[in-house]
Amino acid sequence: MGTMSELVQALEQVVGKAGLVLDPALMGSYLSDWRNAYRGRAALVVRPGSTEEVASVVRLCHDAGVALVPQGGNTGLCGGSIPDDSGQQVVLSLTRMTRIRNVDPANETITVEAGVILQHLQEAAAEAGRLFPLSLGAEGSCTVGGNLATNAGGTAVLRYGNMRDLTLGLEVVLPDGRIWNGLRGLRKDNTGYDLKHLFIGSEGTLGIITAAVLKLYPAIHSRTTAWVALPSPQAAVELIGRMRALCGDRLTGFELMSRQSVEFVLRHVAGCTDPFAEVHPWYVLIQLSDTLPDAPLAQMLENGLGSAFEAGEALDAVVASSEAQVDALWAIREGISEAQNHEGPSLKHDISVPVSCIPAFVEAADLRLQQAFPGVRIVAYGHVGDGNLHYNISKPTGSDDAPFKAQAEAIMGLIYDVTLEFDGSISAEHGIGQAKREAAHHYKAPLELELMRSLKQALDPTGLMNPGKVL
């Protein structure tokens, strides 16, 4: 096919005028990420309303040799949904595909389109008397397609797993425009390679996810939440072990936060107050949940915290006595991401190490960072049960952005080196995108990269699906 304008005319035949954004002045929100860390230019934004329209768009772009950048809620933190600065790429937004196609309470499954916002999915599950457990700070705007493409994690992974664990079937438009309908709601299907797992976590580089069959869980009817002050990450690891032994799968949230991360929230997020009068070095937010309406959760929590105090693992604790207080405690935790933006550039390191290595990782990384980059502020927090720390770095108080940004690569290298010393991963839940391509090429085993490239070559031989991301 010929010129871009011929492509635009053909695309308009498929999606109609309403499905195209041609005016650069109206493209803004599609061309930069949530933090404004990445900015690109697009030939146009296309917003198909159905799987068939996605397939036609992909076929037209494939035949025209035009690269596609799939986009959902654009809340990703690795620049995976942002086009390059050539102005030749097409952003394909799934945000018009918001149908909930089917809910099957007896099979405990729900079939949704890729553009469904995570919060709406949670609400649809609740209306059916069930729970869809994925929960993360961006749930008000991230989409199911983006959650699948990044294999999103969040705060309930320790009990329910990440998006990969919550998925039974997928519908995908392949890079050549063919539609793969793998929308089966089966918990057992052993008929060869499990193809859905190729696309989950592929960040738009192997195809466009247009729908999914997701697992539903029994609804929660009782919940108790506590905010606990601790002397160290070691105490947090001891405490989660204690709570797991006591409560088993009732432990549905265990979020660690350093004092620095809480300080940022108290400073920048309106309505957040310190649950304690005294300052402490570390905190955890603990949540227990049960399907029984009157499960003895408060008693379990009291037993666990009681022995933690005796063992010197806890310094203070408050158990939420109302829904409002539960929300207020979670608002502190979920406010950390936004609060960091008010303190200059946030160098994000979404790392994971074995849970038992979290204390030693923090000690080693803190020490080496302060030696090499005195004054940088370490904003460490995250999902202890998954071994996943958001070990983010902000510039020294009162310093300029530029010299700090100039050290970004050295800071990142130091933190990832320490991560690998503990056999960890440089990306626990956010993916690679464009932010961590070089790091992934540096830290991943050559054989793993070779196998990934073979899969990319097999599924997207023209390389038009989200080029420059992941590989």
**Contact residues for ligand FAD, defined by CB under 6 A:** 34, 69-77, 80-81, 94, 114, 136-138, 142-143, 145-147, 149-150, 152-154, 203-204, 208-209, 337, 429-430, 433, 466, 469
Residue 290: strand, helix, or coil: strand
The partner in contact with residue 393, picked from ligand S2G, ligand FAD, none with C-beta cut-offs of 5 to 8 angstroms by kind, is: none
Question: Contact region for ligand S2G (CB under 6 A) — 15-23, 61-69, 332-340, 449-457?
Answer: 332-340
77 binds ligand S2G (CB under 6 A): yes
The partner in contact with residue 81, picked from ligand FAD, ligand S2G, none with C-beta cut-offs of 5 to 8 angstroms by kind, is: ligand FAD
196 binds ligand S2G (CB under 6 A): no
Looking at the Cβ atoms of 109 and 151, the one nearer to ligand FAD is 151
Question: Smallest distance from the beta carbon of 72 to ligand FAD, in angstroms?
Answer: 3
Question: Smallest distance from the beta carbon of 429 to ligand S2G, in angstroms?
Answer: 6
390 binds ligand S2G (CB under 6 A): yes
Closest-approach residue to ligand FAD (CB): 146
DSSP codes joined into one string, 349-394: -EEE--GGGHHHHHHHHHHHHHHHSTTPEEEEEEEGGGTEEEEEEE
Question: Smallest distance from the beta carbon of 159 to ligand S2G, in angstroms?
Answer: 16
Question: Smallest distance from the beta carbon of 185 to ligand FAD, in angstroms?
Answer: 19
Question: Contact region for ligand S2G (CB under 6 A) — 78-86, 165-173, 226-234, 333-341?
Answer: 333-341
What b-and-e string marks burial along 90-125, b requiring 16 or more CB atoms within 10 Å of the CB?
bbbbbbbbbebeebeeeebbbbbbbbbbbebbbebb
Residues 6+ apart with CB under 8 A from 441: 449
Question: Smallest distance from the beta carbon of 104 to ligand S2G, in angstroms?
Answer: 31
Chain residues 110-129 in contact with ligand S2G, contact rule CB under 6 A: none
463 binds ligand S2G (CB under 6 A): no
Cα–chain center distance at 356: 23
Looking at the Cβ atoms of 145 and 275, the one nearer to ligand FAD is 145
What b-and-e string marks burial along 178-216, b requiring 16 or more CB atoms within 10 Å of the CB?
ebeebbebeeeeeeeeeebebbbbbbbbbbbbbbbbbbb
436 binds ligand S2G (CB under 6 A): no
Which residue(s) pair with 20 in the sheet?
Answer: 46
Q: Give the pair of three-digit tokens for residue 459.
A: 């599924």
User: How far apart are the C-alpha atoms of 12 and 57, rounded to whole Å?
Assistant: 10
Q: Is 88 exposed, middle or buried (0-12, 13-18, 19+ CB in 10 A)?
A: middle
Looking at the Cβ atoms of 70 and 304, the one nearer to ligand FAD is 70
How many residues would you count in the chain? Answer: 471
Looking at the Cβ atoms of 150 and 289, the one nearer to ligand FAD is 150
Looking at the Cβ atoms of 199 and 391, the one nearer to ligand S2G is 391
Residue type present at position 227: W
The partner in contact with residue 390, picked from ligand S2G, ligand FAD, none with C-beta cut-offs of 5 to 8 angstroms by kind, is: ligand S2G
337 binds ligand S2G (CB under 6 A): yes
Which residue(s) pair with 318 in the sheet?
Answer: 227
Q: How, if at all, do strands 68-71 and 90-93 pair?
A: parallel
Looking at the Cβ atoms of 47 and 390, the one nearer to ligand S2G is 390
377 binds ligand S2G (CB under 6 A): no
User: How far apart are the C-alpha atoms of 370 and 368, rounded to whole Å?
Assistant: 6
Question: Contact region for ligand S2G (CB under 6 A) — 21-29, 126-134, 335-343, 356-364?
Answer: 335-343
User: How far apart are the C-alpha atoms of 167 and 145, rounded to whole Å?
Assistant: 12
- Our CA angle for 100, 131, 102, nearest 5°, is 20
Q: Give the pair of three-digit tokens for residue 229.
A: 């002050």
Largest CA distance in the chain: 75
x/- binding map, residues 343-362, to ligand S2G, per CB under 6 A? -----x--------------
Question: Smallest distance from the beta carbon of 43 to ligand FAD, in angstroms?
Answer: 16
Question: Contact region for ligand S2G (CB under 6 A) — 57-65, 126-134, 282-290, 334-342?
Answer: 334-342
Looking at the Cβ atoms of 130 and 390, the one nearer to ligand S2G is 390
137 binds ligand S2G (CB under 6 A): yes
User: How far apart are the C-alpha atoms of 72 and 61, rounded to whole Å?
Assistant: 19
**Interaction site with ligand S2G (CB under 6 A):** 77, 137, 336-337, 340, 348, 390, 392
